[in-house]
Structures are given as C-alpha cells and as structure tokens.
A and B are shown apart, each in its own frame.
Chain A
C-alpha cells in the first residue's frame, strides 16, 4: 500500500490478462509515445499534426508509399520473428543487426565466387545466409550456456565486429572496380537477383519466406516439445532444470533460429535491393535494433510480428518522407523507437497491476 498527499492507493497484481486489454494498452502506449515525439516536431518549428499527416499519407496514402512500407517490413519481419524465439527463452539477443550483416556477407560470397548454376544460386544464397547468421549467433549462445558470459554484451560487440568486417571486405579483398567514391563489391550476376513486384522494391520471395516462417515459428513455440522447453526455460529456469531440460541445447536452438532468420533478412536486402555488398549502414540502417521493439511490441508472439513489423515499416517510410519534405534529421526515427519502447515497457505495469483509489478511513 502506498500513500501520498493524503490519498491512498492500492496496488494489486492481476491474475490473468485478456488479449483485448493487451491490445488496448499497447495502442495507448504508442499513442502516448507519438504525443511526446510530437513535442520534438514543435521544437523544430514543425507542427506535429502536419508531421504526422505527412508520415501517414506518405506511407499509406500512395501505392509507392505502401510498397516502401512493405519492403521495409520484410527485414523487420524476419529479424523480429527470430528475436521472439530467443526472447521466449530469455536469451537477450541484441545482435540481429550483426547476424543480418553476416548473412549478407555469406550470400555475397556465394553470389560472386561460387560456381553454382543459375536456378540453384538464389536458394544457395539463402541457405548460406541462414548458416552464416546462425553461426554468428551461436558464438554468444555457446559462451552464455557454457561459461555464463553475458549475452547482451557479446551480441552487441559482435554487431560492431560485423560492421567492420563488411567495411574491410568492401575496401579490401572484395572491392569492386566500379566504385566511385563509395566502396562496393562487384555487382552480382543477374541470376543472383531476387525478383521484385514490378515497379516496386518488394522482393516478394523474401516476404513469403518471412510470412511462412512466422507461421512455422508460431507452431514451433506453441505446439512442439522444443517450443515447450523454450517457454519453460524462459518462464521458470528453476523448473526447467528440475524437469531435466538441457539448457545448452535450448540456448543453441533458439540462437540457431534467431541468428539464421536475421541472416535471411540480410540475404533479402542485398539480393533483392542492392545486388552487391555495400557499406553496412546502407545494407541495414538499424533493422536489427528496431526488430527488438518489433518483437517486444508483438509480446514475443511470432504471428503478431507480421503486424508490428508493418507498423515499423510504416514509421521508417514516414520518417523518410518527413526527412525529405520537412528537412528533419534522419535520427528522429531513433527517438521514435526509444520512446515507443519506453512507453511499451512502462505500460506493462498496467497490464500486471491494478491500481485503485481507496476511500479515506
């Protein structure tokens, strides 16, 4: 019981939480974050209403905007679905950004230097990208499960390492001849280009892959023995040990999936959009970090990631629009992200606790 200024509040823990309440509180949290972010627009001398109108009309109001929203959602979907699996086991994978880049590197290696014939080249790139991302993700998993090394730090440090690995490749051994000012690898042969929906940058094979995987991961987490083990480990590590669940095996499994899916996102970005390896900030622009919010907003439900990734695809696209038309800095999207995440976790208090005003005695 807490009392302040003569009013008495009672804080009780709620027993069950309905889906409707979760949705309602999440939407409220986002609205609050957008209101606070609106103050920043005012700070820059831009009317918040005008800015939000531009964000929504720019991302939803035209076929170009819709297509951009969808193509931004693809990497967020793949990374986000992977993160829900890791987060279910309470493995804090903050390294999707790096795993994505390693996936891109693996796919580039296959596209440029393998002798794989045309129809098999793209599947080989996806496979290689998955394995690359998964291996990169397994390193922190092994360190955590065997030595107890904090995974937040290792996954983050490995993001920086992968950034410089890409930089090294495009400035050094994989440097292409056609670079003018910017460093690139050579352009992929056309058989390594992903098809897109005409007139857009939506590389639909990656989109389908993401949708299929979100359904598969939903089934994995809710209806399989491995999924049960993952959930028990995340909800009650004591009980998991008591039940004889092999924590090494579960940790490796979730990071194999989580890293692999982020790797697939990397393949999609370079085979579907850039068709060559280029600067790390051009490949990803922080999809791996945004995916943390995407997964959290989805309450770690792989199916819900479909919707939350679309929402953040919309925000990124809208952010691009106001950047160009209002001249606002591109870092604004990070302010959005940080605020939304804050209000989201803050709002969880109201999911799990009930606050009521007590009558004075």
Chain B
C-alpha cells in the first residue's frame, strides 16, 4: 500500500503547511476588499512568529502565545493603516517599510532566542470514529493540529460575512466605490481601519503558527517569503475566502510534491521552486482576469479623500 501512504502524507502535510498561508490570505482578502493593499504581511507574520515563540517559551502557554501574536500583528498593521488611510501615503511603499521594520525588529529582538527548544505546543487531535475512514480519515482527522481546524472553519464564516451580510456589503462598497459609500453615511476610514486590523491579527497568528506549531523554534527570517506568497494567493483567490482556501492548499500540495524531486534536483534549486511556483500561479490567473474581466476591488490602493473623484 505504498501509494496510499504517499497520498496520505502529501495531503496531510499540505494541510499543515497550507494553514499559515491560508490564515494570512484570509486577512489580506479582507484588507484588500476594503481598498487597502498591505504589503507588510511578511513583516507582520515574522513579528507574530517572534512574539508567539517568546511568549510560549516564557509562559509555557501556547494559546497565550497565539493571542500575543495576534495582538502584535494587529498593532503592526495599525501603523500601515495610519500612514495609508489617515496620511494617505503610498500603500506600496508603506507596506514595504512595514516588512523591513518587522524583519529588522524581529531580528534584533530575536537574537539569543535561536535554537531554544519549546516545551509546549498546541495539541494535535485525532477524531476517533472519523479517523478510521479510508484515505480521508488519516488525512483530515488524524494527528492534525487544532489551529488547522479553526482556520478551515473560519473560511465559510468569513465568506458568509463578506458576501451575505450587511457588514460584507459595507466592506465591499468601501473597496469598490468609497465616494458612494461615504455619501450613504458609511465611515470609510473606520471600515478600512477595521479590515486592515483584522488582516494584521490573522497575519500575526499565522506567524505564531509557524514558530509554535509548524516548526516549534525561532530562526531569524523564518517566514522566508511566505508573506509575499500570501499576497500572490490573494490575487489567485480573486479576493474570495473559499478560493483562498483552495489556493493555499493547492500551493502547499505542490510545494510538498516538489520535494519528491529531491533525488533529481539539487537542494538549492529545489528551494527556489515555491517562488517560481508563485509566479507561475500568477501568470495563470492573470490570463483569466484579462479574459473574464474580473479583477481587484476598484479602489484598491487608492487613498480616499472626501470631495474628490
């Protein structure tokens, strides 16, 4: 039964690796839907990873670690919210500086934390009757982490809020046509602040998952570009949480399959694969966007000033 094990490991590992990508993507989808492009995901993630690791190490409480990661990610995102919403600064440059700041700060503060072992982590669960299902059982219900489940459950929830509730209509209105939203009495800045904040919290937790659950350790620069892959996945998902889930797990599966090439390709080139894959994925969807004319929220990355078009 070699092939069966092979499928189980690949899919099960994809869920574990896709989860932080998905968390970040869900947050970025909300931020971008409200019209704010936040390229600081990498910076928020690494700050989340650092703060979750140190908190968990000191308190031996991984849940507290994740909470702190969310808070730190949120605080970081507010810097971007302030410059890009209140000060109407260029969102690309602002997000980029957030990433630099996060990578720098976590590198400075994290010195001395490398190589320390983490005693406690968030438990893995096996859901007994379901885990006996053929194939699906071992993939979905055996030895998966709780955070994986929380993330997957949040997908339909976030989809529902965005597309079936008043809150969602408000968010999308602000991202598509802020002037109209404003004239309808919606506080454009406040909606954008909240969405950016949500994005920051999720990015922070995503980083926390990396350092506390996925590979319980702290290394400088450990996010290694995952924050940028999140930005690519947000575009791939056409700003829809359900597509975001498909994209994140598909990407994770490809990532794991690429390791099957290990005997044939040198390790350095193998490490370059995810980044090449992100580009290929974007090329793929860009063809779709051009043909179907579905695209980014119309006011994405444009600051809003009352009384201007």
Which residues of A does B touch, CB under 8 Å?
40, 92, 94, 143, 147-150, 152-154, 156-158, 160-161, 163-165, 167-168, 171-172, 289, 292, 296, 328-339, 341-342, 345-346, 348-349
Fill in one digit per residue for B84-117: 1 if any A CB lies within 8 Å of its CB, else 0: 0001111011101111111111111001000000
Known interface pairs A165-B272, A172-B268, A332-B104; A342-B79 also in contact (CB < 8 Å): yes
CB <8 Å contact, A164 and B104? no
CB <8 Å contact, B101 and A338? yes
Chain A neighbourhood of B220, CB < 8 A:
331
Residue from the list A150, A289, A328 in contact with B235, Cβ < 8 A: A150
Residue from the list A157, A333, A336 in contact with B228, Cβ < 8 A: A157
Chain B neighbourhood of A335, CB < 8 A:
101, 104-105, 108
Chain B neighbourhood of A161, CB < 8 A:
272, 275-276
A162 to chain B, nearest CB (A): 9
CB <8 Å contact, B108 and A40? yes
**A157 — nearest CB in chain B belongs to which residue?**
B275
Flag whether B161 is at the interface (Cβ < 8 A): no
Number of A-B contacts (CB under 8 A): 142
Residue from the list B101, B111, B266, B282 in contact with A149, Cβ < 8 A: B282
Residue from the list A292, A329, A337 in contact with B111, Cβ < 8 A: A329
Interface size on B, residues (CB 8 A): 48
What are 12 A-B interface contacts by the 8 Å CB criterion?
A92-B92, A148-B289, A149-B282, A150-B282, A157-B275, A161-B272, A328-B108, A331-B107, A331-B220, A336-B104, A337-B100, A345-B97
Query: Cα distance A341–B95 when bound, in Å?
Result: 10
CB <8 Å contact, A345 and B39? no
Residue from the list A153, A331, A336 in contact with B103, Cβ < 8 A: A331
**In residues 57-107 of chain B, which contact A (Cβ within 8 Å)?**
79, 82-83, 87-90, 92-94, 96-107
Q: 12 more A-B contacts (CB under 8 A) besides A292-B96, A331-B220, A345-B89? A: A40-B108, A153-B232, A160-B225, A171-B266, A331-B107, A335-B101, A335-B104, A335-B105, A338-B105, A341-B97, A341-B100, A342-B97
Closest 7 CB pairs of A and B: A334-B104, A331-B107, A338-B101, A341-B97, A338-B100, A168-B268, A164-B272
Flag whether B7 is at the interface (Cβ < 8 A): no
Chain A neighbourhood of B184, CB < 8 A:
none
Flag whether B132 is at the interface (Cβ < 8 A): no
Known interface pairs A147-B283, A148-B290, A332-B108; A160-B272 also in contact (CB < 8 Å): yes
Chain A neighbourhood of B100, CB < 8 A:
289, 334, 337-338, 341
Residue from the list B43, B83, B269 in contact with A164, Cβ < 8 A: B269
CB <8 Å contact, A152 and B39? yes
**B100 — nearest CB in chain A belongs to which residue?**
A338
Query: Cα distance A328–B43 when bound, in Å?
Result: 21
Known interface pairs A147-B286, A152-B231, A172-B268; A329-B276 also in contact (CB < 8 Å): no
CB <8 Å contact, B279 and A341? no
**A144 — nearest CB in chain B belongs to which residue?**
B286
Chain B neighbourhood of A334, CB < 8 A:
100-101, 103-105, 107
**B268 — nearest CB in chain A belongs to which residue?**
A168
Chain B neighbourhood of A165, CB < 8 A:
268-269, 272
Chain A neighbourhood of B232, CB < 8 A:
150, 153, 157
Query: Cα distance A341–B80 when bound, in Å?
Result: 12
Known interface pairs A40-B108, A148-B286, A333-B104; A164-B96 also in contact (CB < 8 Å): no
**A348 — nearest CB in chain B belongs to which residue?**
B89
Query: Cα distance A292–B39 when bound, in Å?
Result: 14
Flag whether B166 is at the interface (Cβ < 8 A): no
CB <8 Å contact, B96 and A94? yes
**A345 — nearest CB in chain B belongs to which residue?**
B89
Query: Cα distance A149–B93 when bound, in Å?
Result: 19
Residue of B88, B100, B271 contacting most chain A CB atoms (<10 Å): B100
Chain A neighbourhood of B39, CB < 8 A:
152
Query: Cα distance A41–B88 when bound, in Å?
Result: 30
Query: Cα distance A158–B279 when bound, in Å?
Result: 9
Flag whether B278 is at the interface (Cβ < 8 A): yes
Query: Cα distance A289–B99 when bound, in Å?
Result: 11
Query: Cα distance A84–B19 when bound, in Å?
Result: 38
Chain B neighbourhood of A330, CB < 8 A:
107
Residue from the list A153, A168, A332, A346 in contact with B279, Cβ < 8 A: A153
Flag whether B287 is at the interface (Cβ < 8 A): yes
Chain B neighbourhood of A143, CB < 8 A:
279, 282-283, 286
Query: Cα distance A163–B79 when bound, in Å?
Result: 30
